[in-house]
Amino acid sequence: MAGILFIISAPSGSGKSTLVSELRRQVSGVEFAISWTTRPPRGSEENGREYFFTFREEFQRMIDAGIFLEHAEVFGHFYGTTRHSLDEARSDGNDLLLDIDVQGAAQVRAKMPEAVSIFIMPPNPRVLRTRLRNRSRAEGVVNDEEVYRRLNASRKEIENYRQYTYILVNDILDRAVAQLEAIVLAERYYRNGETIAYRSHRVLEVAAACLQINSQERLKPVLEAFGIIGESGQQQLDFGPDPYDDDVDPDDDEGDPNEDEKDTDDD
Ligand code: ADP
Ligand code: 5GP
């Protein structure tokens, strides 16, 4: 059985790590490629668990030695996936999941057009801001400048959504996890003839609905909220009132579709 290569991209804070770790808990036979990066560890991250952390000089030496399948500069740091991760997953007969940015995804697709690519979107800029802040607080660093840097980059990344086979909108977590699981099971079914143990018809339907070509209606409000389609063509993202702003009542969360997603410390 040939392993399937899954590429997952998303704007930072969309919930990609959360979805991937849920997927790995629920579906066996998926390996996760640990990338190399020159960015310093965040929060409780450990070398060799979330990333292999290194320095620019070493990273450059690895580029020159042709070690990387793909690499890119994201938010001022280098990130790369080694060819070795791919070979290892192949020899184990496992599927491999790459969590990489839109530049890296384009490089991998060019080399391996058979890869299945999945783009995860946050429902709107306001929810994305809340998630980025909650994550940053959970990691013990509140850096609003960095939060806004990532928010402002989100639209550029989302603009690439058409390059991806599947699109998930990570609004309700359980639903997004079920969709991600359905995509993996459906691809195994179509490519490797693997049977689906439970409610196979439904699983295939859920996966088909996530295909990018079937998602235009579902994506419309998200693309509008990020100013990618619609008449506004806005240059600035609309985050709604900022609960951190002194003039705004923090309880006034009207219009937030994720009622359970207020800026809290207990995320
Ligand atoms: P990414 O890996 O895309 O940068 P994370 O997985 O770290 O994002 O998620 C960012 C924050 O959003 C985390 O605090 C996470 O618990 C939260 N989160 C993720 N998905 C959801 C969701 N569907 N609903 C509410 N909160 C979510
Ligand atoms: P973070 O610093 O938040 O962990 O990741 C920032 C961005 O870098 C995310 O979009 C993530 O997908 C991307 N990234 C992580 N590892 C790699 C990699 O190996 N290659 C590329 N191209 N991007 C990566």
Report the number of distinct structural domains present in the chain.
1
Domain range for 184 is 5-30+95-225
Q: Is 181 part of any domain?
A: yes
Q: Is 257 part of any domain?
A: no
Residues with CB under 6 A from ligand 1: 10, 12-18, 131, 134-135, 138, 170, 173, 176, 261, 267
Q: Whose CA is nearest to atom 23 of ligand 2?
A: 100
Q: Is 140 part of any domain?
A: yes
Q: Is the pLDDT of residue 78 over 60?
A: yes
Residue from 22, 102, 135 to probe ligand 1 pocket by mutation (most atoms less than 8 Å from CB) = 135
Task: Calculate the average pLDDT of the chain.
Answer: 88
- Which ligand has its closest atom nearest to the C-alpha of 174? 1
Which residue(s) pair with 37 in the sheet?
A: 53, 79
Q: Is the pLDDT of residue 257 over 80?
A: no
| Range name among 3-12, 169-178, 226-235 with the lowest pLDDT average | 226-235
- Which ligand has its closest atom nearest to the C-alpha of 36? 2
* Strands 30-32 vs 51-53: parallel, antiparallel or unpaired: unpaired
pTM of the model: 0.90
Nearest ligand 1 atom to alpha carbon 176? 23
Q: Is 63 part of any domain?
A: no
Q: What angle separates helix 125-138 from helix 144-158, to the nearest 10 degrees? A: 140
Which residue(s) pair with 99 in the sheet?
A: 8
Rounded to the nearest angstrom, the distance between the alpha carbon of 212 and the centre of ligand 2 is 22
Q: Is 60 part of any domain?
A: no
Rounded to the nearest angstrom, the distance between the alpha carbon of 17 and the centre of ligand 1 is 7
What pLDDT shows up at residue 58?
Answer: 98
111 neighbors 69 (Cβ within 8 angstroms): yes
Residues with CB under 6 A from ligand 2: 12, 35, 39, 70, 72, 74, 79-81, 99-101, 103-104
Q: CATH no. for residue 123?
A: 3.40.50.300
pLDDT tens for each residue of 199-250: 999 999 999 999 999 999 999 999 999 999 986 555 677 777 777 665 554 4
What pLDDT shows up at residue 115?
Answer: 97
What pLDDT shows up at residue 171?
Answer: 96
| Range name among 27-31, 38-42, 148-152, 224-228 with the lowest pLDDT average | 148-152
Q: Whose CA is nearest to atom 19 of ligand 1?
A: 15
Q: Is the pLDDT of residue 256 over 80?
A: no
Q: Is 72 part of any domain?
A: no
Residue 169: closest CA among 127, 116, 132: 127
Distances (CA, A) of 195 to 190, 198, 235: 9, 9, 47
pLDDT band at residue 263 using 50, 70 and 90 as cut-offs: low
pLDDT tens for each residue of 121-167: 999 999 999 999 988 888 777 788 888 888 989 999 999 999 999 99
Which residue(s) pair with 73 in the sheet?
A: 78
What pLDDT shows up at residue 241?
Answer: 76
Q: What gap in Å lies between CA 176 and CA 17, rounded to an integer? A: 12
- Which ligand has its closest atom nearest to the C-alpha of 50? 2
What pLDDT shows up at residue 260?
Answer: 46
CA 135 to chain centre: 14
What is the arrangement of strands in the sheet containing 35-37, beginning at the earlier edge strand? 51-53, 35-37, 77-82, 68-74
- Which ligand has its closest atom nearest to the C-alpha of 131? 1
